[in-house]
Structure 1
Amino acid sequence: MSQKPAWLSTHGTPWSRGKARIVYDNPWISVSEHQATAPTGVAALYGLVSFKNLALAVLPIDEMGRVVMVGQHRFPFGDYSWEIPEGGGPKGEDPMDGARRELAEEAGLAAAEWREILRIQLSNSVTDELAVGFLATGLSPASGGEHVDDTEDFALARVPFREALDAAMAGHIRDALTVAMLLRAYHMAREGLLSDALARAMLG
């Protein structure tokens, strides 16, 4: 990993947290209200959405440079979304174990090679959700196939990497983790951070 540039250093005073109360709680999230003091010294009431699982994303790329995409209806925006396989895993679990499970459950696939390529904060103004993303290659059918739950209805497609990236850049793919993972993989392919064979298959 490269050295952090000097301009990425912190400045000023951090937020100060006072009394807090839980206003909503379910098995996946909790919403809390905090009496807080801003870095400027101003008193503030802060609402925080806390996630009980770690967000996980898998970018599965086959030997032809195609990305395995998952299509599904999403509740919050009431629209249809094409994404890479994603899900959540317990925070005490090895993220790669959860990623393996999501790839099998959503795409019916196993991967011979795994590489962590991304850690991001998904919406750090109102949530504490963290995400870890993995590149998965050497794909084969998972034993037992897909294991979706009773609320999931998936479609699957294998899409050339550049076609998926172009769709994201055109705004047709809007899922943040998918866009971030495609861009990260593109950067790695261009900068010689992936094997020559994989980079050539991805970039065409």
Structure 2
Amino acid sequence: MSDRDFTALGGDTIHEGKIFTVRSERFRFADGDEVTREVVRHGGAVGMVAVDDEDQVVLVLQPREAVGDPDSLELPAGRLDKEGEEPLETAKRELAEEVGLQAERWEHLTTYRSSVGFTDEVVHLYLAEGLSEAPPADSGEDERIEVVRRPLAEMDRLVEEITDSKTLLGLLLLERRRRQRG
């Protein structure tokens, strides 16, 4: 047993919101020391790297009020917010709702933890190819999204421009896949 091993002792809910819950949780380490941590509990999310037949990636521009950015350039994405819905099904639904597309081929790229220092959020990234228009879908959310397509030939510039972590990771994994495919 390492001195980093710990046991969760429980805690209290500080805030329960629509998107996440904040808890004050206590933990005991193997050496007996106890600590309290504020933890953001989140149901998880998906992100879609959607690539069309013209070798363009489908992105969205949207306001991100929390960081003061009116035009955050990101992958289409969404929360795992429907009870019992698998991540791939959420990705398919969100691609239709956010950008009006459906994909013929889906590939799981990775699943990662967004920020292990304070949240348990897990994000599932998918590659979506063979794009076509989807039947109209409404998310019911008050989203202000502008769909943009950017050529994959501009990948270096895109990576320099984007600050969103899921988008950077998704694009870098796409680039690696493209190199592996030859």
> Where is the strand percentage greater, Structure 1 or Structure 2?
2
Q: Does 1:18 align with 2:20?
A: no
Q: Does 1:45 align with 2:36?
A: yes
Q: Does 1:154 align with 2:142?
A: no
Aligned to 2:90: 98
Structure 2 unaligned runs (5+)?
none
Q: Does the CA contact (< 8 Å) of 1:165 and 1:182 recur in 2?
A: no
Determine helix, strand or coil for the equivalent of 2:80: strand
Q: TM-score, normalised by structure 1?
A: 0.81
Q: Label 1:62 to 1:49 Cα distance change in 2 as closer, same or farther (>3 A).
A: same
Q: Does the CA contact (< 8 Å) of 2:3 and 2:29 recur in 1?
A: no
Q: Label 1:76 to 1:39 Cα distance change in 2 as closer, same or farther (>3 A).
A: farther
Q: TM-score, normalised by structure 2?
A: 0.90
- Displacement, 1:161? 1.5
Structure 1 unaligned runs (5+)?
1-9, 197-204
Aligned to 1:143: 135
User: With CA pairs under 8 Å and 6+ residues apart, which has the higher RCO, 1 or 2?
Assistant: 2
**CA RMSD of the aligned region, Å?**
2.0
Q: How does 1:48-87 map to 2 (within 5 A)?
A: 48-51=39-42, 53-79=43-69, 80-87=71-78
Of all paired residues, the percent bearing the same amino acid is 28
Aligned length: 180
Distance in 2 (alpha carbons) for counterparts of 1:11 and 1:155: 49
- The one-letter code sitting in structure 2 at the alignment partner of 1:47 is E
Determine helix, strand or coil for the equivalent of 2:67: coil
Deviations 1:24-65 (A, max 9, x none): 1123211111122346653211111001x3210001001111
Distance in 2 (alpha carbons) for counterparts of 1:136 and 1:122: 21
Of 78, 97, 103, which residue of structure 2 is paired with 1:111?
Answer: 103
